[in-house]
Amino acid sequence: MAKVNACVVALGFTLLLLAETWAQNPRKRQTPPKTPKAQCCDDVRSLKVQVANLTSLLEEMSRKQETDLMSVVRQIMDLDKQNRQQEARVTEAESKYSEINNRVEIMQLQTLQSATQTSSDATYDCASLYSKSYRISGEYKLPKDEFLGTPELSVFCDMETNGGGWTLIQRRKVGLTSFNRDWKHYKNGFGSIRGDFWLGNDHIFRLTRQPSVLRIEMEDWQGETRYAQYGFFTVGNELNSYKLFLANYSGNAGDSLRYHNNTNFSTINKDNDKCVDDCASLRKGGYWYNCCTDSNLNGVFYRYGQHITKNPDGITWYGWHGSNYSLKKVEMKVRPVDFQP
């Protein structure tokens, strides 16, 4: 279009020059008016105007076409964007729907269950829910039980891993909840049952009064997963400082809790470790610190890029990634030793 324009302009200019030369020619002035030559000059002038008009028309057209093309491109881009947004919205809606569906199913099952509940088949963990045919992983509400002396409690059940029936006692995956908390917080539990939380030492004590297995699942920032399982796990009550007892390690993450075996629980305001150092303050979490750790699953959550930390206070498991690597995700879960999937 630009080329055509240039040609037209050039043509217009030539014609203009031609007309001017004609007009200035004195010989032609001498000739009487109304000759074919004068006619010719008028024609040229009119042609000149026409060419000028055409030129501006062409210019206008090309300008319009350019903006038209741009607006078409913009429209296509907008449509594409809208399309992608729509897709994302559908995906989001779908996942929300399935989550809601899950929750509804769980609630329906639980309503049914609380109606038929008797004290002889009390529900006090995810394994007993599993044996009552609850097979969906998610949040469940355990009812208060006078006989067992257990309060109502929200728990998260893993009904899939290695046969299911697991009650989660800890999770790290979001990283917005501080685990640098005092004794009372660790005693009663904190955080969000669907996100990061510590179930509470009193609850862990009650859950592990029956012989229990502890399973710890971990994920690093490369997406690789490992686990450590203890065939026997229990903690003392508050009078015994929630002392840890475990045995019979298996797994592929390394036995990094063994060092913590037979140690009391410590928090920033209760130093029960076997060290002159105050491990809970140094490692910024509550844990069964010895002097101080071979693992610290309640340490500081370091995000991607910061997880290889110079500080020793990350979420660590020495048996896998050593003392400087803070894990991306951790889940600690328990179920009875005699659980049958």
Ligand X SMILES: *[C@@H]1O[C@H](CO)[C@@H](O)[C@H](O)[C@H]1NC(C)=O
- Provide the binding-site residues for ligand X, judged by CB under 6 A: 49-50, 53, 231-232, 239-241, 243, 246-249, 258, 261-262, 264, 272, 274, 310, 312, 323-324
Shortest distance, CB of residue 102 to ligand X, whole angstroms? 35
Q: Which is nearer to ligand X, 177 or 324 (CB)?
A: 324
Shortest distance, CB of residue 334 to ligand X, whole angstroms? 14
Q: Which is nearer to ligand X, 137 or 264 (CB)?
A: 264
Torsion of the alpha carbons at 262, 237, 188 and 307, rounded to the nearest 10? 10
Shortest distance, CB of residue 104 to ligand X, whole angstroms? 40
Shortest distance, CB of residue 230 to ligand X, whole angstroms? 7
Q: Which is nearer to ligand X, 193 or 253 (CB)?
A: 253
Residue-wise burial string across 143-154, b where 16 or more C-beta atoms lie within 10 A, e elsewhere = bebeeeebeebe
Shortest distance, CB of residue 239 to ligand X, whole angstroms? 6
Strands 244-251 and 166-172: unpaired
Q: Which is nearer to ligand X, 45 or 135 (CB)?
A: 45
Tell me the β-bridge partners of 245: 234
Shortest distance, CB of residue 46 to ligand X, whole angstroms? 6
Shortest distance, CB of residue 229 to ligand X, whole angstroms? 11
Q: Which is nearer to ligand X, 161 or 272 (CB)?
A: 272
Q: Which is nearer to ligand X, 203 or 243 (CB)?
A: 243
Q: What is the 3-state secondary structure (H, E, C) of the chain?
A: CHHHHHHHHHHHHHHHHHHHHHHHCHHHHHCCCCCHHHHHHHHHHHHHHHHHHHHHHHHHHHHHHHHHHHHHHHHHHHHHHHHHHHHHHHHHHHHHHHHHHHHHHHHHHHHHHHHHCCHHHCCCCHHHHHHCCCCCCEEEEECCECCCCECCEEEEEECCHHHCCEEEEEEECCCCCCCCCCHHHHHHCEECCCCCEECCHHHHHHHCCCCEEEEEEEECCCCCEEEEEEEEEEECCHHHCCCEEEEEEEECCCCCCHHHCCCCCEECCECCCCCCCCHHHHHCCCECCCCCCCEECCCECCCCCCCECCCCCECEEHHHHECCECCCEEEEEEEECCCCC
Q: Which is nearer to ligand X, 132 or 258 (CB)?
A: 258
Shortest distance, CB of residue 264 to ligand X, whole angstroms? 4
Q: Which is nearer to ligand X, 171 or 328 (CB)?
A: 328
